[in-house]
């Protein structure tokens, strides 16, 4: 019996240690995500023309941060998903690249950029007179000083109400005609004046575009967004 008690005691100690390790690990991750961020995982960065949504056609510097757990089946940047695959850059290094390009607007995209606290990055861009736009699924709390917030809501991980309330642009990707209902559900939660866009998912464009055209003719508060950078063959 004494031996059995000793085994049970050892088992519970072991469980407690394991719970403690998981707790400390998560605490570390949470603090990384919500406090001062001096380095961010950059998957790619380039000066180009914004191809989608309200700012379509304008020159913009894109910074694509690595890391996303939203899991869209049709995602065209799946290589962004794993944070640890991408090199960590300091805020100064990122801002220096944007400055060198001469761009007046910087789009922070991903991945899911709001997995990180973006206060310092956006402050640094603003102090260099560079406008800040974010493209997010809205699944994480807002951080950062933004001139334009574009939320592209995803069924796979729903956007937070605060992100929908704050966004300047709602851009719903239409992979299937039922996605229009999903777009409407999200549009019911945005603030007055928010721009509404329906964008056919690239691989379904031929199939979905006629559906979207019909819908927009009947629902004129919506506009169509096409990924024109892909037609121009630029990133
Ligand atoms: S939120 Fe964006 S990056 Fe993340 S899985 Fe969906 S499409 Fe891909």
CA of 78 to the centre of ligand 1 (A): 7
The pair of three-digit structure tokens given for residue 183, joined into one six-digit string: 């777009």
**Alpha-carbon distance 21 to 88, whole Å?**
25
Burial class (CB in 10 A: 0-12, 13-18, 19+), 54: middle
CA of 182 to the centre of ligand 1 (A): 16
What pLDDT, on a 0 to 100 scale, did the predictor assign at position 66?
Answer: 98
Q: Is 22 a residue whose pLDDT tops 60? A: no
| This prediction's pTM | 0.86
CA of 67 to the centre of ligand 1 (A): 9
Give the tens place of pLDDT for each residue, 160-217.
999 999 999 999 999 999 999 999 999 999 999 999 999 999 999 999 999 999 999 9
Residue 87 Cβ inside 6 Å of ligand 1? The answer reads no
**Alpha-carbon distance 95 to 117, whole Å?**
16
What percent of the chain is predicted at pLDDT more than 90? 84
Q: Is 29 a residue whose pLDDT tops 80? A: no
Give the tens place of pLDDT for each residue, 75-93.
999 999 999 999 999 999 9
What pLDDT, on a 0 to 100 scale, did the predictor assign at position 147?
Answer: 98
Give the tens place of pLDDT for each residue, 35-57.
467 899 999 999 999 999 999 99
Contact between 109 and 70 (Cβ < 8 Å): no
Q: List the one residue out of 8, 113, 5, 109 whose CA is nearest residue 60.
A: 109
What pLDDT, on a 0 to 100 scale, did the predictor assign at position 67?
Answer: 98
Nearest CA to ligand 1 atom 3: 111
Which helix (H) or strand (E) is 11 found in, with range?
helix 2-34
CATH code, domain with 158: 3.20.20.70
Contact between 193 and 169 (Cβ < 8 Å): no
What pLDDT, on a 0 to 100 scale, did the predictor assign at position 21?
Answer: 41
Tally of domains within the chain? 1
Question: What's 234's DSSP letter?
Answer: -
Nearest CA to ligand 1 atom 2: 111
Contact between 19 and 41 (Cβ < 8 Å): no
Nearest CA to ligand 1 atom 6: 72
CA of 82 to the centre of ligand 1 (A): 12
Residue 89 belongs to some domain of the structure: yes
Nearest CA to ligand 1 atom 8: 75
Residue 110 Cβ inside 6 Å of ligand 1? The answer reads yes
Please choose from 77, 108, 153, 163 the residue to mutate so as to test ligand 1's pocket, defined by most ligand atoms within 8 A of CB: 77
Question: What's 157's DSSP letter?
Answer: B
What pLDDT, on a 0 to 100 scale, did the predictor assign at position 13?
Answer: 45
In which domain, by residue range, is 48 found?
Answer: 2-29+39-231
Residue 34 belongs to some domain of the structure: no
* Average pLDDT of the residues in 48-72: 98
Q: Is 19 a residue whose pLDDT tops 50? A: no
CA of 68 to the centre of ligand 1 (A): 6
């Amino acid at each position: 019996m004494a031996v059995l008690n000793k085994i049970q005691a050892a088992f519970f100690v072991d469980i407690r240690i394991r719970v403690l390790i998981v707790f400390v690990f998560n605490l570390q991750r949470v603090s990384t995500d919500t406090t001062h961020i001096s380095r961010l995982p950059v998957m790619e960065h380039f000066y180009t023309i914004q191809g989608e949504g309200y700012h379509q056609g304008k020159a913009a510097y894109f910074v694509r941060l690595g890391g996303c757990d939203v899991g869209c089946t049709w995602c065209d940047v799946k290589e962004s998903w794993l944070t640890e695959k991408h090199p960590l850059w300091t805020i100064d290094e990122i801002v220096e690249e944007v400055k060198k390009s001469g761009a007046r607007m910087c789009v922070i995209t991903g991945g899911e950029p709001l997995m990180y606290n973006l206060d310092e990055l956006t402050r640094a861009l603003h102090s260099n007179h560079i406008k800040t736009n974010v493209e997010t699924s809205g699944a994480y709390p807002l951080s950062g000083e933004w001139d334009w917030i574009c939320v592209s809501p995803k069924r796979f991980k729903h956007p937070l109400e605060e992100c929908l309330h704050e966004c300047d642009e709602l851009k719903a990707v239409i992979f299937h005609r039922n996605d229009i209902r999903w777009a409407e559900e999200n549009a019911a939660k945005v603030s007055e004046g928010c721009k509404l866009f329906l964008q056919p998912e690239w691989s379904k464009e031929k199939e979905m575009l006629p559906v979207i055209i019909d819908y927009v003719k009947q629902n004129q508060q919506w506009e169509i967004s096409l990924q024109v950078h892909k037609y121009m063959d630029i990133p």
